[in-house]
Structure 1
Amino acid sequence: MRLFRPRGRDDAEQNTRSPLAQATALYKAGRHAEAEAEARAVAAARSRPRDDVFAPLALGMAALATGAQGRNAEACAGYDALLPVFGRIYGAEHPLTLKLRSDRAQTLSALSRHAECEAECAAVARAATRGTAPEMPLIAAAARNGQVYALTAQGRHTEGEALAREALAAHRIPDRLTLVLRLGLARSLNGQARHDEALAEAERADELRRGLPETSAALRPAPSNWPWPPPSWGWAAVPRPTPGPRPPMMPVGPPSVRTTAAPSRPGRCSTASTALDRAHRAGGRDAQL
């Protein structure tokens, strides 16, 4: 899921000058193959010195773009290789490291490794809750969204419902994260055969979708996530761990969300399906937090 809003003019200017600006623009435009190629070129060009912060960020973007093309096993392998690098440069509980873990967890879900996704999202949410950085509440909420999806994918609908309601109570901003959390809630209710309640949540999600700015449904530079990615799922500058240019947050795909199976009440199935399909398109494809 994409996370984090731009912080202001200075950060926007820094991001414009970023070596990843072109890859970011391509990703935002949905040109994922080109974004991947550009990000890998940046990573190759900045592979020396060893602690250049843009090289791992570029590889993270490349993994994100790889997953956006459906090459989820390859994306997961990329995240696996990057996790120790991010831990060494940023620290285990830095927002960037947690966002990378969320991205990987969502890829696990795309690979139907739902139990692993659930465990990793839960761990990321706990770590983010302990953190004090301004991005942490959104990272935690995005991770819980991934956990809700993983729970319902395993048929644990009651647990998914409880977690979705908890996350919605903590995140009261009418944004795309709220949209996909409502979809997760609808899915968990539908899995319990509580079809009227599921339909009501689907309609609330569709109403929210119609009230969102058009651009909020599109990929933006983030923060991710998870991802991350408030009305804007944009980029955010983060404290640099070493001297040099201040790195931006990596772009993060939209939250994990699949269209909920429509409630099976006669005469209402079409309405629910339409509401969920529309909300699903606003929330985005299954992807990283």
Structure 2
Amino acid sequence: MIIAMSGAEQGVRRVAWRGWGRRRDLRLAYSLEGEANRLLDKEQWAAGEAALRRVVELRGRWLAADSLPVLVARHNLAMGLFVMRRHEEAAAEVLEVLPALVAAWGEEDPMPINTRLLLSVSLLRLRRFEESEEQCRLVLACHTAVDDVRVKAIRSQALALVGLGRYREATEVLEAFLREAVPVLGAGHPDVLKARILVLNQLAVLAEHEVVERECQDLLDTLDERDPQHGQVAGIRVYQLNDTGRHTEAETTAREALAHHSQLALHIGLARSLNGQARHHEALHALADAQTQPRADSAGWKVLTSSVAAQALLGLGHLDQAEAKALQAVQAAEEAGLAPTRHRALEAATTLGLVLAAQGRHIEAQQHLTRTTTAWHDHYGPHHPRTLASQAELATLQRL
């Protein structure tokens, strides 16, 4: 015999069932959260992402969208996407969840600060430099302790400023950090050394050669020659030597460093030194070696390798090939999202102008070099070596 339940009994049963379902789902979410971390640690990306999304779904089924467990789940999902280098999705997730995190905890709580830092780095990877720099400033305004969070925020801010071609501001940010960090962390701390090297990069671009030479020598004397950072500093030193016309010294320094570090910047620096000595065939061989290095095919590095190759081909009188390489460099700068005033983007544009001049296309070359000369002057100063060289080439054209 079938016994029908009353409406009240059915309601109680539904409530009990829902209560059991809620507990089951939330326990499962807790378990999946730990499993997702283990999967991501093993680089099992698809399974890790699926687990994180399932956690968000399960918690979202029973809890309010602005509740702590749901917000934490979404933060973790963004972090997982970041680890997987899916920065577009990570940034989109954080932009959605960040206002709720700030509303729940306030700007100065570690959770919103870390989430904002994640956002700034993702935006940096996406070359959304202005947005990244703004998020870094917000992190730094709320987090004054000299620790890993502040270090990452300052480094990201400096790199965003470099991305915008604001080298002087990037240098000022890093130098301010060094003044506060050295007394706390010590001069030999890895984060301090990284900041010093990043400062040197910017000062080299700005042609602050006396400071660069002194600081490079100090770091080269301090670091073990097998340390990759030793190779980075040597690369900056090679750049500075080439920029001051000391190409033989640059070649020697590059070759000594390449004996320990096969770094892309060192290969390019060697090629520049050989071009400076009119040994253009050798420069092209050095660039062929550079192409075997990791990241050599990325657009940002292609700007440099193509520019230096165009300069070598120009020196050899292979003008059509030089034009093709110079155009490749300009195109790579656009693909990399470089601001037109970025140093390497301007070098590419200037090289193209020089090739046009050598081809006898004087009107095109003059128009081109007028633009680049103005940019060098306005953004790097009237006494910068590239400004002076560009002005000299333009003056030669104007006399024709």
TM-score clears 0.5: yes
Indicate which of 127, 130, 135 corresponds to 1:33: 130
The answer to whether structure 1 residue 72 and structure 2 residue 167 are counterparts is: yes
> In structure 1, what is the Cα distance between the partners aligned to 2:316 and 2:130?
42
**Mapping of 1:161-176 within 5 angstroms?**
161-172=251-262
Q: Is the 8 A contact 1:109 1:117 kept in 2?
A: yes
SS of equivalent to 1:262:
helix
Q: Which runs of 5+ in 1 are unaligned?
A: 1-7, 131-135, 173-177, 220-253
Alignment of 1:265 with 2:355, yes or no, is: no
1:182 aligns with 2:267: yes
- Inter-partner Cα distance in structure 2 for 1:275 and 1:165: 26
Q: 1:128 to 1:143 in 2, by over 3 A?
A: same
Residues 202, 275 of structure 1: 8 Å contact kept: no
Instruction: Show CA shifts across 1:2-26 (max 9, x none).
Output: xxxxxx939x98x968452211111
User: Partner residue of 1:217?
Assistant: 298
Give the whole-Å Cα distance in 2 for the aligned partners of 1:146 and 1:38: 29
**Residues 202 and 272 of structure 1 are in contact (CA less than 8 Å); yes or no, is this contact kept in structure 2?**
no
Query: Contact 2:151 / 2:191 at 8 angstroms: preserved in 1?
Result: no
User: In the superposition, relative to structure 1, how do residues 94 and 218 fare at CA in structure 2: closer, same or farther (>3 Å)?
Assistant: farther
Distance in 2 separating the partners of 1:90 and 1:218: 36
**Which residue of 139, 153, 157 maps to 1:42?**
139
Identify which of 34, 41, 49 aligns with 1:9: 41
Residues 70 and 36 (structure 1 numbering): CA distance in 2 closer, same or farther, change over 3 Å? same
More helix by share: 2
Correspondence 1:46-195 to 2 at 5 A: 46-47=143-144, 50-129=145-224, 137-172=227-262, 178-195=263-280
Larger radius of gyration: 2
> Is the 2:155–2:174 contact (alpha carbons within 8 Å) kept by the matching residues of 1?
yes
Q: What is the CA distance between 1:39 and its match in structure 2? A: 1.0
Looking at structure 2, the residues matched to 37 and 75 of structure 1 have their Cα atoms a distance apart, in angstroms, of 13
Number of matched residues? 228
Q: Contact 2:159–2:170 at 8 Å: present in 1 too?
A: yes
Distance verdict in 2 for CA 1:119–1:272, change over 3 Å:
farther
Of stretches 183-192 and 58-67 in structure 1, the one that deviates more from structure 2 is: 58-67
Structure 2 length normalisation: TM-score? 0.49
Q: Which position in structure 2 is the counterpart of 1:234? A: none
For residues 189 and 318 of structure 2, the distance between their equivalents in structure 1, rounded to whole angstroms, comes to 50
**C-alpha deviation, 1:114, in angstroms:** 2.5
* Per-residue CA distance 1:177-229 (angstroms, 9 max, x = gap): x2221111010011011122112222333x426xx468x7378xxxxxxxxxx
**In the superposition, relative to structure 1, how do residues 147 and 102 fare at CA in structure 2: closer, same or farther (>3 Å)?**
same
The change in CA–CA distance for 1:281 and 1:145 in structure 2 (over 3 A counts) is farther
The whole-number CA distance in structure 2 between the counterparts of 1:204 and 1:286 is 23
Q: Distance in 1 between matches of 2:241 and 2:277?
A: 13
- Tell me if structure 1 keeps the 8 A contact 2:167–2:202: yes
Identify if the C-alpha distance between structure 1 residues 21 and 218 changes in structure 2 by more than 3 Å, giving closer, same or farther. Answer: farther
Q: Which segments of 5 or more consecutive residues in structure 2 lack a partner in the other structure?
A: 1-39, 43-78, 84-110, 345-400
Q: Alignment partner of 1:30: what SS?
A: coil
Q: Which has the higher contact order (CA 8 A, sep 6+)?
A: 1
Secondary structure, counterpart of 1:112 in structure 2: coil
Structure 1 match to 2:13: none
Q: Percent identity?
A: 32
What TM-score does the superposition give when structure 1 sets the normalisation length?
A: 0.66
**In the alignment, which residue of structure 1 is the partner of 2:90?**
none
- Give the Cα separation in 1 of the matches to 2:142 and 2:41: 28
* Inter-partner Cα distance in structure 2 for 1:33 and 1:121: 30
Is the CA contact 2:165–2:343 (under 8 Å) kept in the aligned structure 1?
A: no
> Which deviates further from its counterpart, 18-27 or 187-196?
18-27
